[in-house]
Amino acid sequence: TFTFEYTAAVIETDATSRAGGRSAFAWYSHGEMEMPLVPRKWFVGAVHDSAAASVPGVERSILLGSPELYARGVWSSVRGLSSGGGFGVVIPVPRDVSPDEAEVLRTARVVRPWDETRFRDLTLTFRPWFDMRHITGPFIFQLRQGLDWSLVVRGLRSDERRTDIRAHTAFYFGYRLARPVGVGLELWEVYQLTEGLRDDRRATFAISPSVRFILANVQPALSVLLPITTPLRGDVASYYAARLSVGFSFPTEAPLPRP
């Protein structure tokens, strides 16, 4: 399968930032390729992100994320209950970021806070997680919980930690309106466990209602993304975003011979 996601956001910057409280605009693209090792049980995949933003008083920049490789397994029952887990590794990539680009990145990363670790400089990140999903009739319930353990593999800058641990949780509730159409609601939490932040800035919550079209080999989806509490680390005042996601499925089994 291949999934492409594009997010466009309007960000209300903090009054104390260089943007002075004016609105910034950000774009975020997410690409993910996955293939089965054992059909319906074991999978491997690769992820790559890129982000761009236009911040008043700073500049416009396009930033490439570090690649992530992962493997996951899933076990399903005939009762509609599935569980599994995975392990991802973000490959450390050097990046020479100017002060202006750092401000752009600090603004743009709030759009997808659960994947912010892919934009760190020469940082190796291990990402274990587990999944649970239950399907009953037209209803779908899914939960994912994971940890990001990051290790800086270069010289430390001032006020920077060598390691960092972050927890993230995602919950999805979906309802199949009709055979080709489903609606859903996603809820995310990102919690900074070790970073030196005030307690009121450690937790980040976001919510996203969506509509998905389930076709034979293509699954487009539209959604909006809204913060519930403080955006990532309190870097900005608020934001709202629209997302377009398209998933493509490619047959991996040989077709049956004609009689």
Pair 53, 26: CB distance under 8 Å: yes
Whether the predicted pLDDT of 69 surpasses 90: yes
14-23, 86-95, 113-122, 233-242: range with lowest mean pLDDT: 14-23
What pLDDT does 209 receive? 98
253 band by pLDDT with thresholds 50, 70 and 90: low
Whether the predicted pLDDT of 113 surpasses 90: no
- Give me the phi and psi of 120, to 5 degrees please: -90, 150
Whether 220 is in a domain gets the answer yes
Kindly report, residue by residue over 31-66, the tens digit of the pLDDT: 999 999 998 899 999 999 999 999 988 878 888 999
Dist. CA 124–CA 192, nearest whole Å: 17
Whether 94 is in a domain gets the answer yes
Whether 233 is in a domain gets the answer yes
Whether 255 is in a domain gets the answer no
Whether 259 is in a domain gets the answer no
Q: How many C-beta neighbours within 10 Å does residue 252 have?
A: 9
Whether 178 is in a domain gets the answer yes
Q: What amino acid occupies position 49?
A: D
* Mean pLDDT of the residues in the chain: 90
Dist. CA 110–CA 217, nearest whole Å: 32
Whether the predicted pLDDT of 139 surpasses 70: yes
Parent domain of 136:
2-248
Whether 120 is in a domain gets the answer yes
Residue 120 or 88, more confident: 88
User: What is the domain count for the chain?
Assistant: 1
Residue 256 or 167, more confident: 167
What pLDDT does 40 receive? 86
Q: What CATH number does the domain containing 189 carry?
A: 2.40.160.40
Long-range contacts of 20-26 (CB under 8 A, 24+ apart): 20/56, 20/57, 21/237, 22/56, 22/57, 23/56, 24/53, 24/54, 24/55, 24/56, 24/107, 24/236, 25/53, 25/54, 26/51, 26/52, 26/53, 26/54, 26/107, 26/108, 26/111, 26/239, 26/241
Whether 203 is in a domain gets the answer yes
